[in-house]
Chains A and B, each alone.
Chain A
Amino acid sequence: MDFKNFSLNISQTKVNRFVDELSAGKFMATVCKKCGKNYYPPLADCSNCMQSDMEWKQISGEGTLVTFTKIHVPPEHFAVRQPLMPFSSIQFEPCPIGLLEVEGGLKIMGWIPKGDVKKIKVGMKMKASPFTLPDGKVTIILEPI
């Protein structure tokens, strides 16, 4: 799968496998075979020992929410378009996002689709899951456990 289906931005990386696994429902990190350091997002190279002998490892998506927000003014890529129908309006209700700390201190960013932003609290237990959007792109969602 083209990496752009996740990144929206670049299409080429050495960790392309991440999106294939994500579309198959798995969260993958990389681990340095030499020093054992875990990387999420998965990286192809270990800056801890400056070598590139890495292996893939599935990680659990369960963890604790460390922070969140709800972005009402989105960037161009997510910009709300004017409606084509005259005299009508688009009601925009953006989806909150959060940062979840999982095993080993790794942090996973994701959308919180069912979150009322006033009820989301730092410290909540949540689970990150891969999610395939209607247009075929893959992303990550966070849900309360």
Chain B
Amino acid sequence: MIARLYTSLASLTFGLWLMGGVMALMAAGSFMGERAAALNEMPLFAWLGEAPLAASWWLWGTLCLLALMVVNTILCSIEAIRIRYGKSGPMALLAPQLMHLGFLLIVLAHLLSARGGAKQAMQLFEGSDLRFPGGSSVVVEAIDATMGPRGMPVDFGARVRTVDGGSEARTTVRPNEPLFHRGVGIYVKHVELFPVRTAYVEVHREPGAGWALAGALLFTAGNVLVLSQRRERRTP
């Protein structure tokens, strides 16, 4: 019975059904509209704990199928290596497994962020500071914006000073250029110059970001290897 279970879990057909199921559930989730709007405001697992089942059923289903897909991916990789070892070249054997590994790391990244991610919005003024446990702080020294001809901001940012122990450093936080400090990212969302210079700031913690990048790089490397293998096969 265990052998039969292993064969089923390691089968490509099972993987295909899982992919189909995840696609169907995600498609259903995309039509949830406002019922799932708060999903981006808190870590996934916190939202799942609070949201009514009527709004979250598709996500529970997706997570269950993804968990099975992780098992299926690992077992398929093991089987592929076991069956093809010595029969195909190392690159042909390695490339798809790198893609699988990349996918697994991305799932791990999502799990870490779903559990330990955090987001907080706040307003900061010139002279105000953001204090961190351990005594370090980020002090806002100046807030500025450059307006375009139609009154829309074309650039804005906050010049800040980080004070950590005895050391100080100055930098400017602006769109696409956040400040990373003590494991969090500090993002300036927009600024107002009147009546008081104010920066609308979000502080994010994404514990999965590094794993996601590692997974993405591995996946891309595997994907490029698969492409090069196909090319070699075509070239006489």
Q: Do A and B bind each other?
A: no
Question: A-contacting residues of B (Cβ < 8 Å)?
Answer: none
